[in-house]
Amino acid sequence: MFTLPELEDAQRLVHESFAGTPQFAWPLLAERTGAEVWVKHENHTPTGAFKLRGGLIYLERLARERPGIAGVVSATRGNHGQSLAWAGRRYGVPVTIVVPEGNSVEKNAAMRGLGARLIEHGTDFEAARDEAFALAAQEGLEFAPSFAPDLVKGVATYALELFRAAPPLDAVYVPIGLGSGICGVIRTRDLLGLKTEIIGVQATGADAYAQSFAAGQVVALNRADTLADGVAVRMPDAEAFGQIKAGAARIVAVTDDEIAAAIRAYWTDTHNLVEGAGAAPLAALLRDGATMRGKRVGLVVSGGNIDLALFRRWVLGEG
């Protein structure tokens, strides 16, 4: 686990690539929720998502410690792959990404545009990850996981920015995919000695962490049924779950309809385009209603990379 000086070092490295992201208190979101709402805009990174921070820390270390490495391979629904591709180009490390068949067209194009070799395989994230493991063995590549200490430390830099820039927060809602984001927020809160309540958010059709949290042990699902691809995971990471179990107050599961309504709320109230995973925290705050009325709440917009087809369906109501 990293220390505060190590996190500050990671933040300096991240800021060599981009100047961090803003956090704003939006008055119309306050009217809508009854809370003072501070939004952390990770949709404003160079890849449109928080994952870039972890990719930079991970690949900077790998390139420094293993010069001449053949490359890395990973599985993703998009944002993790974009982060590796962007950081790989910066540090001269070839990147191969495996995505499930039928993955986001726009995210696939973005990864290719950043120089990644893209392979489509399997029906879901777990099948793509199995193929990435196989490629690592066949081609002598380093498998880059979606949850690892470097990644958590990297993405925790957004929490450091938020906690140091915003007034003291009563609670922060964080979406959960494999867990690097919420684990980074929990660790940063603890390092700063804050009392902020950390609330995880999942989709009802992919609520493995919520079920695990309730059961007190890892619960794997046989499906991940949500259009919010950033949280479409059916197998919790055991290490991430341990940190979440120890440091989160609770986990809220919201429906795809609630996520779609939150995307529309962001569009009307802030003029920001938010992807499903990034909108889930607002959906959870709206679900909690009176519980958070009058409190100061942080919402993590983890990304803004939503497909045009899904934007038309969820925001414009077409199709």
Residue pLDDT, tens place only, 82-113: 999 999 999 999 999 999 998 888 889 999 99
Question: pLDDT by residue (tens digit) across 2-61?
Answer: 999 999 999 999 999 999 999 999 999 999 999 999 999 999 999 999 999 999 999 999
DSSP letter at 43 equals G
What local confidence, expressed as pLDDT, does residue 104 receive? 81
Contacts of 100 (CB under 8 A, 6+ apart): 77, 120, 121, 122, 123, 124, 125, 127, 128
Q: Do the domains 4-50+149-314 and 51-143 sit in the same CATH topology, yes or no? A: yes
Residue 197: pLDDT band (50, 70, 90) is very high
**Model confidence at 228: pLDDT above 90:** no
Q: 140 φ, ψ to 5°?
A: 70, 35
Residue type, 170: D
Q: Where are the domains of the chain?
A: 4-50+149-314, 51-143
* Beta-bridge mates of residue 254: 203
What local confidence, expressed as pLDDT, does residue 169 receive? 98
Choose between 129 and 251: higher pLDDT. 251
In this structure, are strands 36-41 and 23-25 parallel, antiparallel, or unpaired? antiparallel
- Residue 164, sorted as left (phi over 0), alpha (psi -120 to 50) or beta, turns out to be alpha
Mean per-residue pLDDT of the chain = 94
Residue 79: pLDDT band (50, 70, 90) is confident
Question: pLDDT by residue (tens digit) across 148-174?
Answer: 999 999 999 999 999 999 999 999 999
Would you state the structure tokens that stand for residue 159, as one six-digit string?
């929490």
- Give the CA distances from residue 133 to residues 83, 140, 157, 192, 215, in Å, rounded to whole numbers and listed in that order: 19, 10, 28, 37, 30
**Model confidence at 319: pLDDT above 80:** no
CATH 3.10.20.30 fits 51-143, yes or no: no
Residue 310: pLDDT band (50, 70, 90) is confident
What local confidence, expressed as pLDDT, does residue 300 receive? 98
CATH topology of domain 4-50+149-314: Rossmann fold (3.40.50)
> Which has the closest alpha carbon to 161: 266, 45, 270, 251?
45
